[in-house]
Structure 1
Amino acid sequence: MAAARVRCHSNAPFTRLPQSGHRNSPTLPISPNRVDFAALKSPRKFLLSIGDGSSCTRRVSGSCLKSTVRAVLDEKKTDAIRETEVEEKRFTCVMKFGGSSVASAERMKEVAELILTFPEESPVIVLSAMGKTTNNLLLAGEKAVSCGVSNASEIEELSIIKELHLRTVKELQIDPSVFLSFLEELEQLLKGIAMMKELTLRTRDYLVSFGECLSTRIFAAYLNKIGVKARQYDAFEIGFITTDDFTNGDILEATYPAVAKRLYDDWVDDPAVPIVTGFLGKGWKTGAVTTLGRGGSDLTATTIGKALGLQEIQVWKDVDGVLTCDPTIYKRATPVPFLTFDEAAELAYFGAQVLHPQSMRPAREGGIPVRVKNSYNPKAPGTIITKTRDMTKTVLTSIVLKRNVTMLDIASTRMLGQVGFLAKVFSIFEDLEISVDVVATSEVSLSLTLDPSKLWSRELIQQELDHVVEELEKIAVVNLSKGRAIISLIGNVQHSSLILERAFHVLWTKGINVQMISQGASKVNISLIVNDDEAEGCVEALHKSFFESGDLSELLIQPRFGNGSPVSALQVEN
């Protein structure tokens, strides 16, 4: 019988899936001829023109054919033989929304409207917990340790959490049964903590997971109510596999294929917008719920982006992108339009709250741009983060402040010519699981700062510091200084002489003593250590000089004297 051409007719947009995307062959129930397919745009429907001029329409769930496929047709079934690639009309981007973006029923409605303003997108949605829910969960857990079992249900923060979520469900007019069992389980967990009189790191992770589990269920229910088919997912149930480092788990490579398979398979079976819990994973040995560290929802989003090979990762915050400094320190901070992954990683690590420190790694590995936008001001251009950008006219990108830092000065004549001295020093920190931020060395001394985020409570901080000093004093003279801050200058370190000259002049005019300086191996960061109580004034003064003086681009092309100083560098502040 004559061969026929099969063409796909639809107004639906065709979205190209990157080469790394997951693909499945379609199954087509059609008749007994050899037929050539030429599918164009439809995500799910094909119009078949058979040799005798008759036609029929058949539905194919979730698939678009990029090129030709040959099928053997039978009256009751079809065996489709793929001759060339099949492209799926599936996910195009990840859209991650932080806690302030979904802090109330009104905010959830606005986020839903925002998502619907991009009809050409097929997004995966990642959500944080509502508002301050994570903080309230932690406070509730700490109070439960000492309040007694009979008083656990009366903890103030538990009441705040219940009231917020019940009010949100009522205002969204959705069925509260979608999450009531979680509130009951949360109360029982707090009673268990009260009975045991301890809050372990493992229990702490399980406790804070309730925030994301609640917010995603409420939001998915609301989308379904307004006619947008959505499906809720707990990240720890769809393949997010981590180390068993509770409160700070690292995502393992097995996560990527597992997440891709689960989300794609569900989409093929029954297309719906995935609503995924941010911040959470499952320990690969224990099988227990783990968390990815504060701000870990960003890492959830970039991990999904890499797993699915998507076109873009969108991180929606409550600010207009990545800024030139913290706007709570200096209100004239402005958005940075473009960043590299390296710059963004340094910004996050040294204190910028906009992004999670580890979130850039999956995006960099997948070559996927990250766009940081403001959910309160979606028309603002935001910040685009990519692998490379034109840095020829860039001096400084942003100034970041990290507070409450402890500095250690370690001096020993044993360092002279001794093999393994630095290894001994850093093994002490490794044994105590304390992270080191900034390091500077000389022939006989070593200066470094400690990351306070790796220490879990004020009492433990002092215990850890005492132990560190005790161990280090066995091999060196140690001077410990608290109340320090790290000011990190992120930008084009090829111009480090210009940056340092300008920075030191600014700080000199303010009478600030820089106690330590370090240039990062990433080549995009210079860190200065100052007293914590002077740090905010330093950031403001540096911002005025680098971002508001208007003369830095001129300095880049001016002739320089033999000592390396630009002609007008020391005239700027006078």
Structure 2
Amino acid sequence: MGIHTVEKIGGTSMSQFDKVLDNVLLGTRTKEALYNRIIVVSAYSGITNDLLEHKKSRKSGIYSLFSRDDDSWAWGDAISRVSQYMCEINKGFEGLGLDVIQADRFVKERIEGVRNCLLDLTRLCSFGHFQLSEHLMTVREMLSAIGEAHSAHNSYLILNAKGVNARFVDLSGWMETEQLSFDEVIKKHFNDIDLSTELPIVTGYTKCKEGIMGTYDRGYTEITFSRIAVLTGAREGVIHKEYHLSSGDPNMVGADKVEVIGDTNYDVADQLSDLGMEAIHPGAARGMRKADIPLRIKNVFEPDHPGTLITNTYKSEDARVEIIASRQGITGIEVWDQDMVGRWDHDSELLKHFTNLKIRYLAKDSNANTLTHYVAEPLGRIKKLTSSIQQSFPNADILVKKVALVSVIGTNMADTWVLPTAVHALANAGVDILGLHKCMRQVDIQFVVEEQDFQKAVAALHKNLVEDARK
């Protein structure tokens, strides 16, 4: 394993690049300490939403406007707005030493290149022999790449202006016709880099034969980060966030009540990912776990704090709860069918409908004649699923209910006090437990609760299992 680290900086942090310079990249580092690091950057906050579509609200970006195929040229206005916004971001970094003229030239070259490509594609598809739908994923990939190329190039210019021997490593495949695999792209770009004297600033997007966007969608930056760490044999991966990985959501339980998780393992990271509270994308974690590369989660604004170290082997010596994780917007799909009793294939038949619609479940429970699956999907997808199930099981009663999941997680919860304490905490808080899931591996206990009891459940479990346990 090498002596270098691979470090990823998120989009919200990148938008506060003065803090990133002071707390991550430069600070009081000696000249030697500047190097033996690889920096992977995300697009500036909000840029990928504008290029594609808003991740949460689904407000249209360039991609979603272009993909409508309704003869509207709204996407052209949108791409102009994004270009202007990127140049405004550049101007905001002038005080940090950014050569704004060079930075704007880079933006306009990329934006206008993509605009011309989309215009050509529109003309091509107007003949009828080519279908736009067949090219949309390529369009999505091309648009995604602009954001990370912009932020990485700016970072490279600023660092060079400050005397750092930075190197812009553009994995976005701009104007490249060669079709390489994901691993081949990374090996090609890092083949001649001397990490002891150069600081690579790398785009979080990688253009590859497999199509990183089609495989991982918006999680591609962490996939790039992870694969670079694995292929270069990093001693540690570091993700710089705007917050610590803490024992609970400070907005729900209070910033003064949560504590930073000092050490944990990849098993816990997997449980968090399942609830949408990703310490790291599960696909990225998989590669680092298999290569036995530790992952550190750090807070950009507290550079002296060691943060959270995630390894394969860590297990708390004492039984304790490390984090209360949770997720709203869950739908419980309960299928009650008395014909199920005694059948061995009922469950597998039911799951075929999930497979056909590519819907995964977060938890499930069953008894003699009932199967309940908990999923995080939009209502339209839920209706398709239940309609499909009903056709296969015409005698079944199907109940759909909005719920929330609250999970108690730790590397070692093998003690009799954890479960009864959690149940009593919820009962005393007036929270009705709709479902309970506990595995023999003793790493998590999931509670299904009413949506309106979500915040109450989180606060009660954190107080009784984390805060009171410190005393």
Query: What SS does the corresponding residue of 1:135 show, helix, strand or coil?
Result: helix
Distance 1:497 1:326 in 2: 26
Match in the other structure for 2:202? 276
1 or 2 for the larger relative contact order (CA 8 Å, sep ≥6)?
A: 2
Counterpart contact for 2:330–2:405, Cα < 8 Å: yes
Match in the other structure for 1:507? 426
Match of 2:379 among 455, 462, 465: 462
Change (3 A) 1:381 1:482: same
Match of 1:299 among 223, 231, 234: 223
The one-letter code sitting in structure 2 at the alignment partner of 1:152 is: G
Match in the other structure for 1:135? 49
Pairing 1:327–2:239 present: no
Q: Aligned ranges for residues 326-405 of structure 1 at < 5 Å?
A: 326-331=249-254, 332-405=257-330
Pairing 1:481–2:407 present: no
Match in the other structure for 2:452? 533
Match of 1:126 among 40, 46, 58: 40
Match of 1:418 among 330, 343, 360: 343
Counterpart contact for 2:437–2:447, Cα < 8 Å: yes
Q: Deviations over 1:175-201 (max 9, x none)?
A: 222332123245557778999898945
Match in the other structure for 1:95? 7
Distance 2:251 2:221 in 1: 23
Match of 2:109 among 162, 181, 184: 181
Counterpart contact for 2:140–2:213, Cα < 8 Å: no
Q: Aligned ranges for residues 134-283 of structure 1 at < 5 Å?
A: 134-137=48-51, 138=53, 139-141=60-62, 142-143=64-65, 145=68, 148-149=72-73, 152-153=76-77, 158=82, 161-168=85-92, 170-171=94-95, 172-174=97-99, 175-176=102-103, 177-187=105-115, 200-235=136-171, 237=173, 255-256=182-183, 258=184, 261-267=187-193, 272-283=198-209
Change (3 A) 1:399 1:149: same
Distance 1:399 1:157 in 2: 41
Counterpart contact for 2:206–2:212, Cα < 8 Å: no
The one-letter code sitting in structure 1 at the alignment partner of 2:423 is: F
- Out of 127-136 and 344-353, give the one that drifted further: 344-353
Residue 297 of structure 1: CA displacement?
Answer: 2.4
Distance 1:150 1:113 in 2: 42
Unaligned runs of 5+ in 2: 54-59, 126-131, 175-179
The one-letter code sitting in structure 2 at the alignment partner of 1:113 is: L
Q: Percent identity?
A: 23
Pairing 1:548–2:462 present: no
Counterpart contact for 2:318–2:412, Cα < 8 Å: no
Query: What SS does the corresponding residue of 1:367 show, helix, strand or coil?
Result: coil
Change (3 A) 1:353 1:228: same
The one-letter code sitting in structure 2 at the alignment partner of 1:103 is: S
Residue 123 of structure 1: CA displacement?
Answer: 0.8
Distance 1:116 1:526 in 2: 43
Change (3 A) 1:190 1:115: farther
Query: What SS does the corresponding residue of 1:373 show, helix, strand or coil?
Result: strand
Larger Rg belongs to: 1
Cα RMSD (Å) = 3.3
Residue 441 of structure 1: CA displacement?
Answer: 2.1
Distance 1:193 1:379 in 2: 50
Distance 2:187 2:269 in 1: 29
- Out of 527-536 and 291-300, give the one that drifted further: 291-300
Match of 1:316 among 240, 250, 253: 240
Residue 493 of structure 1: CA displacement?
Answer: 5.7
Q: Deviations over 1:447-503 (max 9, x none)?
A: 111133xxxxxxxx3332222111211226243434321111111464364222111
Q: Deviations over 1:145-181 (max 9, x none)?
A: 4793167325796266334433245443322223321
Counterpart contact for 1:485–1:535, Cα < 8 Å: yes
Query: What SS does the corresponding residue of 1:545 show, helix, strand or coil?
Result: helix
Counterpart contact for 1:436–1:450, Cα < 8 Å: yes
TM-score, length of structure 2 as denominator length: 0.82
Query: What SS does the corresponding residue of 1:396 show, helix, strand or coil?
Result: coil
Residue 333 of structure 1: CA displacement?
Answer: 1.9
Change (3 A) 1:170 1:487: same
Query: What SS does the corresponding residue of 1:515 show, helix, strand or coil?
Result: strand
Counterpart contact for 2:435–2:447, Cα < 8 Å: yes
Residue 127 of structure 1: CA displacement?
Answer: 0.5
Q: Please identify which structure carries the higher strand content.
A: 1
The one-letter code sitting in structure 2 at the alignment partner of 1:134 is: T
Q: Deviations over 1:52-93 (max 9, x none)?
A: xxxxxxxxxxxxxxxxxxxxxxxxxxxxxxxxxxxxxxx611
Match in the other structure for 1:9? none
The one-letter code sitting in structure 2 at the alignment partner of 1:140 is: G
Q: Please identify which structure carries the higher helix content.
A: 2
Distance 2:188 2:79 in 1: 38
Pairing 1:427–2:352 present: yes
Change (3 A) 1:100 1:114: farther
Distance 2:189 2:299 in 1: 27
Counterpart contact for 1:409–1:448, Cα < 8 Å: yes
Unaligned runs of 5+ in 1: 1-17, 22-90, 239-251, 453-460, 553-574
The one-letter code sitting in structure 2 at the alignment partner of 1:273 is: L
Distance 1:410 1:440 in 2: 11
